[in-house]
Structure 1
Amino acid sequence: MSAVPIKQLDMTLHLLNHPLYLSGLGLEDLETCERVFASSNTAAVLIRHASYFHWMQFLDLHFDQWDADRYAELSRFLYNNYVQALQIIQTNIPVLDEFKRQQNLTDADFVNWRNEEHDYLGRVAAEPSLDAISVAYVEQLEKLRFAEATYGSITSVPFLTYTPADFTRTSGLNAGARDCSKAFETEHASTLRRYELQLNVVEDFERRHGITERWSMHHPEYVQAVSYSQERQFIRSVEELEGLVVRRLFELSKANLAGTGYKMRKYISKAITRRSATIRTALEKYNKLAPLQNPPRPVLDYSEVVGYASLGEFSLLKYSRHDILTKPWSIPANREMAVKYFKLVRSHEEIIRLNVEIKRLQSWVEHEDQNILEAINSLFADDPNSLLIDELKAFYAKRCRINNNHRKLLQKIYVLDGYTGEHPSQTLDLDPVMLDEDGNEEGNLEYHEDDAVNEEAVRLEDLVSRLTL
């Protein structure tokens, strides 16, 4: 008989693939694709009934605008990530140093804790086959004992008692007595069939699993299996409670999500109310079983349970038959410090990657402006009346303004306390310019409006011009 797996979330995959534990990933949350496709949902309202051509056209326009927006925000993204990484480093290093000094730990201990937790959860991810067989055998024995007790209660009366009133003058027993006798015989035969059927099931189970001696209630393996069965029920109650709380968290987040219609919010609100009642029922079941565990598990309050947000808070409740409470990685303070350590490691990796990307962006903005100006001068030299010159002038005006914003934010990165990358030897701060008929710079364009308003106006103009094509 194969092992019966206990229903649970696979925490081993969580530990293996979580961004916090993947070397070289930095502070990446791996949700870029989700953000991209979530943003494309805004175009669904426009194209749901459109022709195939317009469907493709609107999606192309959307992702063109997405690319332009991301480029305009690139330096801000790098700056924010650099500040975030530096803050984590500056905050976590003194806390971790003090903790390691008090507990006499090293960085290797945090890594070992994570590996031990992974190995442990891998061992308990599936129910051992011997335990599953023992529990199944005990369940069949209990059914047999119940069927035997039921049959014994039926056969404990050796004969039926009749009074003269139960007989008629001509035809023996009257109708009421005959019906009672038939009911007794039917019940007796039915109980006997159930007992014989369950006896055959037990004998077949013993034959298939090589059990030569039937376990009594005082048999050591029977007692051990009953104890494990009780713990098994407890684990299932924890998993049921965990699933309800996680679904409730998803519903709460969905209820406040922008773009959710009134009817959907009303439906979700009713679902949350029903879920809360179900959680209370599951919590009562858990609290009844918790004190019976070895060691006893904590009795939980409703307000405490609905505040659980991580899988780890539930997983530590489950495995009472394993000596999990003695593991250093199961102690909340140690787990918190381990998270800080891995965030610190990922932050150092993030700094290394940001130094590369900052240098690439700096080189790009410097060369792009020069290349566009050279292209304009080259076109003007070949054909002063070329219409492409005006297009390049407009493109240069928009692009140079964005690149100047990049230069300003890159300068803010260079002066950060903790910046470890290269400093550029020379940076240009170009203003958007127009060229006169001779191809020379005519003068700076004056932009009296707010930069953000200008950028939005340029994006809108670009979008409208493409829609009219």
Structure 2
Amino acid sequence: MRCIETQRQHTLEVQVKAVAAVHDLEDQLNISARWMPGNRKWEAVAVMVCRRHYQQALNHLQGLIISWMFELTKCNMSGTGYKLWKHIAKALQARSKAVKNTIAKYNEITESMTPLRKNRPMLDWDEVVEYAFLADFNLLCEGWEDICGELWYFKLLCADEEIVHLNIEIRCLVTYMVDEEVFLSHVEVL
């Protein structure tokens, strides 16, 4: 009982410190009003968090299914010995359970995205089992939005090249400054 009370007291102290840190941060950033449910900014962040959960579930599901498909392919390959085949078969059983659980979690998250759920498919185990090739696995295309049209993407692509050019310009500027100093010193003597 003492251990539980000590943990409770410790948790309360941590909470008090966290609240004090939040208040300090709000003072430093001049935040006058906190976001509340129903606030426009609150709703925008809630949508972003919902999308992030969906992306994480989708990534996890894709990783499991792809590794499951590769193991299945290896199991059916000629030249696979009996011991390796048995080992892969056990791994496939464990992975199948993990895939089923992940499909359930993915569907749960997809269902909770009612306003955002435009064309996000619900999956079931039978549908996933029918994916024989990666080309049939259309879920890979559902995930991330195309960022190639974003302005910052092009800036990011050119960042390394820009650094190289800046390093050259910095050397030129330093050389110019040294030469100008020498020139001014020489002219001052005359």
User: Normalising by structure 2, what TM-score?
Assistant: 0.60
Secondary structure of the structure 2 residue equivalent to 1:217: coil
How many residue pairs are counted as aligned between the two chains? 139
1:301 maps to a residue whose letter is D
d(CA) in 1 for partners of 2:138, 2:67: 16
Decide whether the 8 Å contact of 1:237 with 1:285 is kept in 2. yes
Is 1:241 matched with 2:44? no
1:295 maps to a residue whose letter is R
Secondary structure of the structure 2 residue equivalent to 1:267: helix
Residue 196 of structure 1 corresponds to which residue in structure 2?
Answer: 16
Residue 129 of structure 2 corresponds to which residue in structure 1?
Answer: 306
d(CA) in 1 for partners of 2:26, 2:44: 18
279-288 or 298-307, which moves further after superposition?
A: 298-307
C-alpha distance 204-318 of structure 1, shift in aligned 2 (>3 A): farther
Q: Which has the higher contact order (CA 8 A, sep 6+)?
A: 1
C-alpha distance 268-211 of structure 1, shift in aligned 2 (>3 A): farther
Residue 273 of structure 1 corresponds to which residue in structure 2?
Answer: 93
Secondary structure of the structure 1 residue equivalent to 2:105: helix
Decide whether the 8 Å contact of 2:110 with 2:117 is kept in 1. no
Counterparts in 2 of 1:427-446, with a 5 A limit? none
d(CA) in 1 for partners of 2:84, 2:58: 30
Counterparts in 2 of 1:37-436, with a 5 A limit? 186=6, 189-203=9-23, 210=29, 212-213=31-32, 214-293=34-113, 294-296=116-118, 297-308=120-131, 309-310=134-135, 313-319=138-144
Structure 1 gap ranges (5+): 1-178, 324-469
Decide whether the 8 Å contact of 1:245 with 1:306 is kept in 2. no
After superposition, give the CA deviation of every residue in 1:23-42 in whole Å (9 maximum; x if it has no partner): xxxxxxxxxxxxxxxxxxxx
RMSD, matched Cα: 3.1
Secondary structure of the structure 2 residue equivalent to 1:318: coil
Decide whether the 8 Å contact of 2:58 with 2:106 is kept in 1. yes
Secondary structure of the structure 1 residue equivalent to 2:96: helix
d(CA) in 1 for partners of 2:26, 2:142: 34
d(CA) in 2 for partners of 1:271, 1:196: 47
Secondary structure of the structure 2 residue equivalent to 1:216: coil
1:313 maps to a residue whose letter is N
Choose 1 or 2 for highest CA Rg.
Answer: 1
Secondary structure of the structure 2 residue equivalent to 1:245: helix
C-alpha distance 235-211 of structure 1, shift in aligned 2 (>3 A): farther
User: Deviation of residue 248 (structure 1)?
Assistant: 0.8
After superposition, give the CA deviation of every residue in 1:206-235 in whole Å (9 maximum; x if it has no partner): 578x46243233432122212221221111
d(CA) in 2 for partners of 1:203, 1:312: 49
d(CA) in 2 for partners of 1:280, 1:312: 16
1:190 maps to a residue whose letter is H
Secondary structure of the structure 1 residue equivalent to 2:78: coil
After superposition, give the CA deviation of every residue in 1:10-62 in whole Å (9 maximum; x if it has no partner): xxxxxxxxxxxxxxxxxxxxxxxxxxxxxxxxxxxxxxxxxxxxxxxxxxxxx
d(CA) in 1 for partners of 2:10, 2:137: 50
Secondary structure of the structure 2 residue equivalent to 1:197: helix
User: Deviation of residue 289 (structure 1)?
Assistant: 1.6
User: Normalising by structure 1, what TM-score?
Assistant: 0.26
Structure 2 gap ranges (5+): 147-190
After superposition, give the CA deviation of every residue in 1:83-125 in whole Å (9 maximum; x if it has no partner): xxxxxxxxxxxxxxxxxxxxxxxxxxxxxxxxxxxxxxxxxxx
C-alpha distance 315-251 of structure 1, shift in aligned 2 (>3 A): closer
2:31 maps to a residue whose letter is T
2:35 maps to a residue whose letter is W
Residue 176 of structure 2 corresponds to which residue in structure 1?
Answer: none
Residue 169 of structure 2 corresponds to which residue in structure 1?
Answer: none
Decide whether the 8 Å contact of 2:107 with 2:122 is kept in 1. yes
User: Deviation of residue 202 (structure 1)?
Assistant: 3.0
1:266 maps to a residue whose letter is K
